[in-house]
Structure 1
């Protein structure tokens, strides 16, 4: 299997886990504890990955880790928790589906990565597919929730592009562990000061936090940043379209949401967008072929005619 395909499959685990995280957060975690929710998601996952990586930041990675922790962990987790609690899953997912376009533009501005036509076409096709899949009456939508979802999309786009720009000099697992740990430590005193004691953890809540911490954070972020290390930021952004689609499928399976021709067409458009945005490499030049020696004359190189 081609190396890029393997990295795409590994990276795809992250948006699938995050798509399920919408449902888990909304259904099983306390609605009034966004700071503690973000803290309990980030800090245990960061410490777990830190124990596996066994590396400390060095050189410029001290300040880089602090900035990325603020964007990718502290701000993003709090905003996403608020969006998951205040919005229906379909509404939150629809807003976050615009993140590939935001990532393309952010990569252009911050890293000078001019988007290719295929990436733009893939992003637009995927966004159209998600919109078609999730199209329907949303009812009374919280504007605070929409603002939180849009804010999460923007800070994550900046953080992911910076992560791709600074990919040299740090192991992806170690860098992820630094960001999660630092972000959790930033949130811990704020959560205690604003929200008081941690929320009580009964059986269902404990299992939900276990999924959020181990699967949707430790595993998913390790896969995501590894993908950013080996794939173009635009391609990784297109894989992020699997995030809202996972929410749609979970809604169909667990909540009895309708799935018909419109939803199927939307899924097909998303798949087309991901295929359009996959990495491409130029075809290798044809190798010269040396003709055998005949009649005492040395062979002359010639190009193979396709």
Structure 2
């Protein structure tokens, strides 16, 4: 991997690492029972700030494209995510979400016309297995609506990531403006959904303000700028595998902040997931051998 790609990958990894803090921030700082409101505040203010900073709006067909990407990556993904989190144990929801790289690998064949990669599919399966070992506990249960929501979230974001790669970014439009379009579109989509489902906003205290600022500023604007920049400049299947970092970071924060512990099987899962993430950033040995110059 070239140094440029390595630095871009490291910046892209910042996003899922920050997203891994969402569970701790939500449970420890935010009002109970308003997850969609948290998603709304994570998206819409960040998007409007990005638009104000860049003063760049979509043109032509990009109005429709930006709206579609915002709904898929944020507007639909957040409700699916929170429904799964409410109806399933956290480990089950995280494991279903970890299936996203597998969906991206399949969509890359149909939408991006890439050749099927057994290498990436295999490491995608290893990644799901690793995350499952880390976050699934003996009390794991399966609620049909929750499972469908978890799979729906993985599918919608996978499609959004794939279309982001297919359409790219308009010439002359920076990553901040591009992220702002999608955050704003997803946030506007969430406004009626949030108030229909959750009703009036909750009372917001000082700790909640800090939580919302973290989710919107760092987990929203900064993280999505880096994430969408990575999708347009790096292989989409490799970027999607970085999403496995989120449940792993969430588990680590559970140990550090909430006093939880990790057993041997969870540590094994960490090793498998990390191996899958690292391996997915490199071409398959067969591809590398094919590209290598002939000896002699």
Of Structure 1 and Structure 2, the greater helix share is in 2
Q: Which residue of 2 aligns with 1:229?
A: 232
Contact in 2 for aligned 1:68/1:163 (Cα 8 Å): yes
- Matched position secondary structure for 2:232: helix
Q: Matches of residues 185-204 of structure 1 in structure 2 within 5 Å? A: 185-192=188-195, 194-204=197-207
Which residue, out of 244, 256, 261, partners 1:258?
A: 261
Q: 1:82–1:27: structure 2 CA closer, same or farther, 3 Å change rule?
A: farther
TM-score (norm 2): 0.88
Q: 1:161–1:55: structure 2 CA closer, same or farther, 3 Å change rule?
A: same
- State the 1:29 CA deviation: 2.9
Q: Matches of residues 46-57 of structure 1 in structure 2 within 5 Å? A: 46-57=47-58
Q: Which residue of 2 aligns with 1:248?
A: 251
The number of residues matched between the two structures is 288
TM-score (norm 1): 0.85
- Matched position secondary structure for 1:3: helix
Contact in 1 for aligned 2:92/2:140 (Cα 8 Å): no
Distance in 2, Cα, partners of 1:57 & 1:208: 31
Contact in 2 for aligned 1:119/1:277 (Cα 8 Å): yes
Distance in 2, Cα, partners of 1:114 & 1:265: 31
Q: Which residue of 2 aligns with 1:83?
A: 84
Larger gyration radius, structure 1 or structure 2: 1
Report the aligned-residue RMSD. Answer: 2.3
Contact in 2 for aligned 1:68/1:179 (Cα 8 Å): yes
Q: Which residue of 2 aligns with 1:210?
A: 213
Contact in 1 for aligned 2:169/2:178 (Cα 8 Å): no
- Matched position secondary structure for 1:93: helix
Q: 1:150–1:25: structure 2 CA closer, same or farther, 3 Å change rule?
A: farther
Which residue, out of 167, 171, 174, partners 1:171?
A: 174
Q: Deviations over 1:184-224 (max 9, x none)?
A: 12322443455443221111211111111111111111111
Distance in 1, Cα, partners of 2:164 & 2:140: 37
Distance in 2, Cα, partners of 1:83 & 1:23: 17
Distance in 1, Cα, partners of 2:116 & 2:55: 36
Gaps of 5+ in 1: 287-303
Structure 1 stretches of at least 4 aligned residues deviating more than 6 Å after TM superposition:
none
